[in-house]
Structure 1
Amino acid sequence: MSRPAAPEALTEPTERAGRGWTAALSLANGAIWVGWYGPLQILLALQAAELAPPGTAKESVLAWVTGAGAVVSMVANPLFGALSDRTASRFGRRTPWILAGVLGGAGALVLLAGAGTVAGMALGWCLVQLTLNAAFAAITAAVPDRVPQGRRGAVGGWLGAAQILGVVAGTGLATVAGGVVAGYLACAGFTVLGALPYVLLHRDPALPAGRRPALRLRDLLAGFRISPRRHPDLAWAWLTRFLINLGNALALLYLLYYLRDVLHRPDPDGGVLVLTAVNAVTLLGTVVVGGFWSDRIGRRQPFVLWAGVLMTVATGLLAGWQTWPGAVCAAALLGVGFGVFTSVDFALMTQVLPAAADRGKDLGVINIANALPQVAAPVLAAPIVQHLGGYRVLYGVAAAIGLLGALLVRRIRGVA
């Protein structure tokens, strides 16, 4: 007797995902980044300056709030990834969590808009991270569910393009909306509207109820661990992503304050928007091309390595050329490097996943490498800026960390 075929949701995809599917998923991804980066680039910094108690530095308040949110993000991403792996809905494993996540994220942004204390601000931001990570975990897992390995660089490129457009749109909305409250409300509305086309028009492969894994606390907790001995490529890929993202997080965390306090820009909010736009233009010029090129030649490591080196050079410019032209050049180079890294590293990550049944959980563990730098960066950055040499030392440290991450990609053996 032949063994019954595995359900579509648990098999390696062989057919190309359509352009409409890719476009809708990319738009939903960009909408989530609007919900994250409108606050991160502008609104949280302004709110921290308003709500900081007398005698408390605004940098410390911002570091504490963003660090708390990043801790929530680290837990939420693999948790909701594991839950989506086990969701036997007729709408698929991922779509219900995308919808629930963006609706919850919009509500949390509205709550954050009304925060009148540092504690309320921290609570609101933690709820934003909790809910939007539910949607992000599902979106990330949808790619290996639906896209063959040889096409993931290209799809990763479109997701990366949507990500940076989301960063630009979030920064723009936060800048032009007319205040902190209006900025949060604008980001909340965009987050929901951007996800609706995917939710309404596309369905994921459904997991039959009889094939749903048991939901046990022990299994969920096990999902937070990576065994370097059993999965060394996954561990090295995780460490590469963590270090490069940590260098990037250190470079971007205090950008508003850098423009205001070091470069003395008369309009630092507008300066952040200009730098974000420059970064976006160069990133968009490389993110899709890098993914397509990587798919065509069938290699990932060289792209990740040289993208990391270029980002290191850009961060070094912020340390050694502290002028407005230097900041513009750094933003352009960071865009080129991060564009290639975003698409190709995503494809690389999907190729080191251990099992199809746990894609959401495993990608959630990998995505901790995106969130953990948001915790580590404030811990490192605040004392460096305040006591250990200021912004020149901060950006030098960021460059060194990013370069180490780029070099470690060579330790991965199973992906060229």
Structure 2
Amino acid sequence: MSGPAPEALAEPSQQAGRAWTAALSLANGAIWVGWYGPLQILLALQAAQLAPPGTAKESVLAWVTGAGAVVSMVSNPLFGALSDRTASRFGRRTPWVLVGVLGGAGALVLLAGADTVPAMALGWCLVQLTLNAAFAAVTAAVPDRVPQRQRGAVGGWVGAAQILGVVAGTGLATAAGGVAAEGAAAGGVTAGYLACAGFVVLGTLPYVLLHRDPVLPAGRRPALSVRALAAGLWISPRRHPDLGWAWLTRFLINLGNALALLYLLYYLRDVLHRPDPADGVLILTAVNGVTLLGTVVIGGLWSDRAGRRQPFVLWSGVIMTVATGLLAGWQTWPGALCAAALLGVGFGVFTSVDFALMTQVLPAAAHRGKDMGVINIANALPQVAAPALAAPIVHHLGGYRMLYAIAAAVGLVGALLVRRIRGVA
């Protein structure tokens, strides 16, 4: 199509302002509150309450989180593609942020009232569907608005908000519900869900209300059809090998991380015999958050100034491998604390630098939202694979020691594969 590219499709050249970065980061953190309050605490407690007699709570949790991850895997690129085609006067991304967070809050309220395993699964799938609509739009806003030379720094602030969202979600789930053990009352779990729902909405309002999103002219909107949307979900790794290797690196490192975190509550209770496993999860999450915050922005800024991404991703993956190995080889509370701290160091650098790397291998500006959604499958798919792998490993193949050894190996392979990317230093 002739003529200069409109602002919504142009490669950004002006640095993103601090207020915009702060508002986007807060919105991102609020979405992660909606995910990780349930994932870290509430779903595990709810699974223990609702598991039918003779059914292991681990199996219920694995089934529910796996179903939600399947929904996440499909919905993120779908809503990214829809946002690419949105030509509203409020821009391409903002309408989906608003719709997503309002829907996510409503889904968390529905999940709070679930009294059967199928109702719990339905509620969690709706949470994943709606919050992924918002997350796809927030993620795509970075390549829309931030020049490549600044993406490590902005990725660092967005990543810092992500871990603060994880900590805040875990804290809300623990404090609002008053949970300290598996036997917490159902009312406490409900209060935790409601607290997370409120934070999701309030945290996104500054971005939605105060910042303009570039408008896509109706004449530049890609055609909308089911066939086009379905075809767009596949990006050929043969035509775009750097994107393929970057995707695989992210998938494997996230899979190792998901395997390490999925049964953390049960690990503290059943292996370390902590009397207050939920509080233990909160402590480990806080330790992890402190060390992550100490590296996520610095790592992004450092990679911007160095003009290199690969070495940072590689060595952050190695550090995360060592951390997960500690959970396998040093099964004590001090060992868990050291693992949480190291995992934060590694994941902090990985979060900011890998995000910047991903935005630099996108094929085209016209479908950044869809392409970032496909990339985000590398975050969601491990949530499907991890429960399927973790349950049989824990019950039949060596318990938690073997689980964490395999998680470490998977993460290390992912870190090494980043060296296959040729187009980004």
The interval holding the TM-score normalised by the smaller chain is: over 0.9
Aligned to 1:33: 32
Amino acid paired to 2:155: G
Deviation at 1:3, TM superposition (A): 4.8
Distance 2:31 2:15 in 1: 25
Aligned length: 415
Match of 1:131, as an amino acid? T
Structure 2 partner of 1:242: 251
Structure 2 counterpart of 1:291: 300
Please name the residue that 2:22 is paired with: 23
Task: State the Cα distance separating 1:222 from its structure 2 match.
Answer: 1.3
Q: For the residues of structure 2 that align with 1:297 and 1:317, how far apart are their CA atoms? A: 31
Q: Report the CA distance between 1:224 and its aligned residue.
A: 1.6
CA separation in 2, counterparts of 1:96 and 1:122?
27
Q: In the alignment, does 2:132 pair up with 1:123?
A: no
Q: Which amino acid aligns with 1:215?
A: L
Indicate yes or no: 2:374 matched with 1:365.
Answer: yes
Matched position secondary structure for 2:70: helix
CA distance in 1, matches of 2:198, 2:153: 29
Give the secondary-structure state (helix, strand or coil) at the position aligned to 1:9: coil
In the alignment, the residues of structure 2 paired with residue 365 and residue 191 of structure 1 have an alpha-carbon distance, to the nearest angstrom, of 24
Question: How far 1:218 moved relative to its partner?
Answer: 1.4
Match of 2:183 in 1: none
**For 1:43-82, what aligned pairs fall within 5 Å after superposition?**
43-82=42-81
Q: Which residue of 2 aligns with 1:108?
A: 107
Q: How large is the Cα RMSD of the aligned pairs?
A: 0.8
- 1:278 matched residue in structure 2: 287
Deviations 1:155-191 (A, max 9, x none): 0000000000000000000001021000000000000
Shift of 1:78: 0.2
Establish whether residue 332 from structure 1 lines up as the match of residue 332 from structure 2. no
Structure-2 residue corresponding to 1:191: 200
- 1:206-217 paired onto structure 2 within 5 Å: 206-217=215-226
Aligned-residue offset at 1:226: 2.2
Q: Distance in 2 between the 1:6 and 1:391 partners?
A: 53
Amino acid at match of 2:128: Q
Deviations 1:251-290 (A, max 9, x none): 0000000000000001000000000000000000000000
Q: TM-score, normalized by length of structure 1?
A: 0.99
Residue correspondence of structure 1 range 382-401 to structure 2 within 5 A: 382-401=391-410
Q: Distance in 2 between matches of 1:195 and 1:89?
A: 19
| Mapped partners of 1:222, 1:341: distance in 2 | 30
Once residues 211 and 414 of structure 1 are traced to their aligned partners in structure 2, the CA distance between those partners, rounded to angstroms, is 29
Q: Secondary structure at the match of 1:377?
A: helix
For residues 233 and 87 of structure 2, what CA distance do their matches in structure 1 show?
A: 22
Structure 1 residue 204 displacement after superposition:
1.0
Which amino acid letter does the alignment assign opposite residue 257 of structure 2? Answer: N
Q: Distance in 1 between matches of 2:89 and 2:249?
A: 37
Conserved 8 A contact 1:223-1:365: no
Query: Displacement, 1:4?
Result: 2.1
Aligned position for 1:159: 158
What is aligned with 2:263?
254
Equivalent residue for 1:305, pick from 308, 314, 318: 314
Q: Give the Cα separation in 2 of the matches to 1:13 and 1:125.
A: 36
Q: CA deviation at 1:35?
A: 0.1
Q: Which residue of 1 aligns with 2:136?
A: 137
Identity percentage of aligned residues: 88
> Aligned equivalents of 1:406 and 1:226: distance in 2?
22
Instruction: Pick from 390, 402, 409 the counterpart of residue 411 of structure 2.
Output: 402
Preserved contact between residue 246 and residue 374 of structure 1 (Cα < 8 Å): yes
Asked whether the 8 Å contact 1:82–1:358 carries over to 2, the reply is yes
- Which runs of structure 1 show a deviation greater than 3 angstroms over 4 or more consecutive aligned residues? none
Contact 1:15 1:147 in 2 (8 A): yes
SS in 1 for 2:8: helix
Aligned counterparts of 2:203 and 2:2: Cα–Cα separation in 1: 42
